[in-house]
């Protein structure tokens, strides 16, 4: 780690008189900074990011613009009340609309190709449970989305996709997909255009709140004092916020080389969402499988997990593209922030500090809204 003190010039030119600092330049941090500027354009807002790019989940996810598949919602309802679950669905939906307004569909290749949930021969019971709830969900989630038929069974599409061992498909019609890279690049561009100053390569090691503001101690050895701070570090919260109910969860992701005539189109959830895949540029992007080695994947460090990687390749071979040749073009990992409750945390942590973390696997949809809420809480305190 590069250790240095700020020079007089750096202190007086680059790091002078910030009104608000946001830690983390993922979707939440950027959306929060933009909302602060929207509320008061005269404020001097800085975003401090440890990576060369946002280095967590926002540039490393699957780009599902999703708000809930049947098994996910039913599972959530076994832990929380139906109203609480629907409240999160509603936020995911509203967040998506905000994202689309902020960025524009064309800028992030937004396409409403639908989200499919796959049920294998062994999952007939789960499928029946979902089937029973479709009319009820269509009524309740239809009221949120305005879509006349959110969920529908589309088993007739199975031959087109060519999956093996999959007996049923339930489609969530208004779900979409985005090009994650374009989404984040556009968000960064908009933030910069609004005069927000984004600094990369700055890791904050410690926060110290006082009546004079917040001292941000950097890993490089110097400290910055800012009147108000919003922390948007999601899965990395433990270092800065040891008490927060956020656990890191690593996800393995692969991308294939382009596959001529690829029939897969849309976002797919397999094995109750433990695995997910989609088409992008004639390739398949596939991720998940964390449940196969939860202990190892409960980490905020990037890196491979061979057990999970071989399971993902096996899934491609046997279920997703059986009999079709493919080559893996590359792998990466991303870090999610999970917790005991599947709901983001937006709260005042100290008099001058608000935190907006624990996005679970929902940040594409809900991230801009969480950033907005965090910013409003910070400014209204
Ligand atoms: C593999 C994968 C697939 C996913 N797929 C989807 C999907 O299809 N759809 C969906 O809705 N969601 C998906 N998600 C979840 C979604 O990406 C996240 O919920 C969302 O990106 C979280 O955004 P964030 O801004 O809160 O966090 P992040 O994007 O993780 O941003 C946090 C930032 O804080 C920075 N940071 C951390 N600590 C410090 C520090 N001490 N000092 C300075 N900077 C710091 C990090 O470098 C990082 O850039 C996926 C996640 C992963 C990992």
pLDDT digits (tens, 9 = 90+) for 229-271: 999 999 999 999 999 999 999 999 999 999 999 999 999 999 9
Residue 132 buriedness (CB in 10 A; 0-12 / 13-18 / 19+) = exposed
With b for 16 or more beta-carbon neighbours within 10 A and e for fewer, the 267-288 pattern comes to bbbbbbbebbbbbbeebbbbbb
Predicted confidence (pLDDT) per residue in 305-340, tens digit: 999 999 999 999 999 999 899 999 999 999 999 999
CA 18 to chain centre: 28
* Ligand 1 neighbourhood includes 25 CB (under 6 angstroms): yes
Predicted confidence (pLDDT) per residue in 132-145, tens digit: 999 999 999 999 99
pTM of the model: 0.98
- Give the whole-angstrom CA distance, residue 209 versus residue 94: 33
Indicate which atom in ligand 1 lies nearest the CA of residue 356. Answer: 26
> Tell me, what's the pLDDT at 178?
98
Q: Whose CA is nearest to atom 30 of ligand 1?
A: 56
Task: Identify which of 23, 65, 361 to mutate to test ligand 1's pocket (most ligand atoms within 8 A of the CB).
Answer: 361
Indicate which atom in ligand 1 lies nearest the CA of residue 333. Answer: 1
- Give the whole-angstrom CA distance, residue 283 versus residue 277: 10
C-alpha count within 13 angstroms, C-beta hemisphere, residue 112: 11
Report the CATH architecture of 8-59+181-245+341-379.
3-Layer(bba) Sandwich (3.50)
Predicted confidence (pLDDT) per residue in 326-375, tens digit: 999 999 999 999 999 999 999 999 999 999 999 999 999 999 999 999 99
Per-domain residue ranges of the chain: 8-59+181-245+341-379, 247-338
> Tell me, what's the pLDDT at 180?
98
The radius of gyration of the chain from alpha carbons, rounded to an integer in Å, stands at 21
> Tell me, what's the pLDDT at 173?
98
- Give whole-number Cα distances, 229 to 34, 241, 252, in Å: 14, 13, 32
| The residue count for the chain | 381
> Tell me, what's the pLDDT at 149?
98
- Give the whole-angstrom CA distance, residue 365 versus residue 99: 7
Which of the four pLDDT bands, split at 50, 70 and 90, describes residue 87? very high
Task: Identify which of 21, 22, 24, 65 to mutate to test ligand 1's pocket (most ligand atoms within 8 A of the CB).
Answer: 24
> Tell me, what's the pLDDT at 372?
97
> Tell me, what's the pLDDT at 381?
74
Does domain 247-338 bear CATH number 2.20.25.90? no
> Tell me, what's the pLDDT at 333?
98
> Tell me, what's the pLDDT at 187?
98
* Ligand 1 neighbourhood includes 374 CB (under 6 angstroms): no
* Ligand 1 neighbourhood includes 279 CB (under 6 angstroms): no
Task: Identify which of 23, 25, 26 to mutate to test ligand 1's pocket (most ligand atoms within 8 A of the CB).
Answer: 26
Is a pLDDT exceeding 90 seen at residue 1?
no
Indicate which atom in ligand 1 lies nearest the CA of residue 63. Answer: 8
* Ligand 1 neighbourhood includes 34 CB (under 6 angstroms): no
Percent of the chain with pLDDT over 90: 98
Q: Whose CA is nearest to atom 26 of ligand 1?
A: 234
Predicted confidence (pLDDT) per residue in 8-45, tens digit: 999 999 999 999 999 999 999 999 999 999 999 999 99
> Tell me, what's the pLDDT at 194?
97
C-alpha count within 13 angstroms, C-beta hemisphere, residue 212: 5
> Tell me, what's the pLDDT at 127?
98
> Tell me, what's the pLDDT at 322?
95
Which of the four pLDDT bands, split at 50, 70 and 90, describes residue 90? very high
Which of the four pLDDT bands, split at 50, 70 and 90, describes residue 73? very high
Give the pLDDT mean for 216-229: 97
Which of the four pLDDT bands, split at 50, 70 and 90, describes residue 227? very high
Pure H helices in the chain? 8-9, 27-39, 70-79, 82-103, 124-145, 158-161, 180-193, 237-240, 294-297, 306-315, 363-379
Give the pLDDT mean for 193-210: 97
């Amino acid at each position: 780690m590069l250790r240095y003190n700020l020079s007089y010039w750096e202190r007086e030119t680059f790091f002078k008189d910030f009104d608000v600092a946001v830690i983390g330049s993922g979707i939440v941090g950027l959306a929060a900074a933009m909302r602060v500027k929207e509320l008061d354009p005269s404020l001097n807002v800085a975003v401090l990011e440890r990576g060369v790019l946002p280095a967590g989940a926002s540039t490393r996810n699957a780009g599902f613009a999703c708000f809930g598949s049947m098994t996910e919602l039913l599972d959530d309802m076994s832990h929380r009340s139906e109203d609480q679950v629907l409240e999160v669905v509603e936020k995911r939906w509203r967040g998506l609309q905000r994202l689309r307004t902020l960025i524009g569909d064309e800028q992030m290749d937004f396409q409403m190709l639908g989200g499919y949930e796959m049920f294998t021969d062994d999952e007939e019971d789960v499928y029946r449970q979902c089937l029973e709830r479709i009319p009820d969900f269509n009524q309740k989630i239809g009221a949120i989305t305005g879509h006349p038929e959110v969920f529908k069974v589309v088993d007739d599409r199975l031959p087109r996709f060519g999956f093996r061992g999959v007996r049923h498909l339930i489609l969530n019609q208004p779900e979409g997909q985005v090009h994650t890279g374009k989404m984040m690049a556009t968000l960064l561009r908009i933030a910069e255009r609004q005069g927000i100053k984004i600094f990369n390569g700055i890791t904050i090691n410690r926060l110290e709140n006082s009546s004079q503001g917040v001292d941000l101690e950097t890993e490089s050895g110097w400290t910055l004092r800012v009147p108000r701070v919003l922390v948007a570090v999601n899965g990395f919260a433990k270092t800065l916020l040891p008490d927060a109910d956020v656990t890191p969860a690593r996800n393995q992701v692969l991308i294939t080389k382009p596959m001529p005539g690829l029939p897969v189109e849309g976002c797919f959830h397999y094995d109750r969402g433990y695995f997910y895949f989609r088409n992008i540029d004639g390739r398949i992007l596939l991720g998940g499988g964390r449940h196969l080695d939860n202990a190892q994947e409960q980490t905020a460090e990037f890196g491979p997990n061979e057990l999970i990687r071989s399971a993902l390749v096996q899934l491609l071979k046997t279920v997703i593209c059986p009999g079709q040749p493919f080559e893996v073009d590359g792998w990466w990992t991303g870090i999610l922030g999970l917790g005991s409750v599947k709901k983001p945390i937006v709260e005042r942590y100290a008099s001058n500090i608000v935190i907006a973390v624990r996005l679970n696997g929902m940040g594409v949809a809900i991230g801009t809204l969480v950033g907005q809420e965090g910013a409003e809480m910070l400014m209204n305190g």
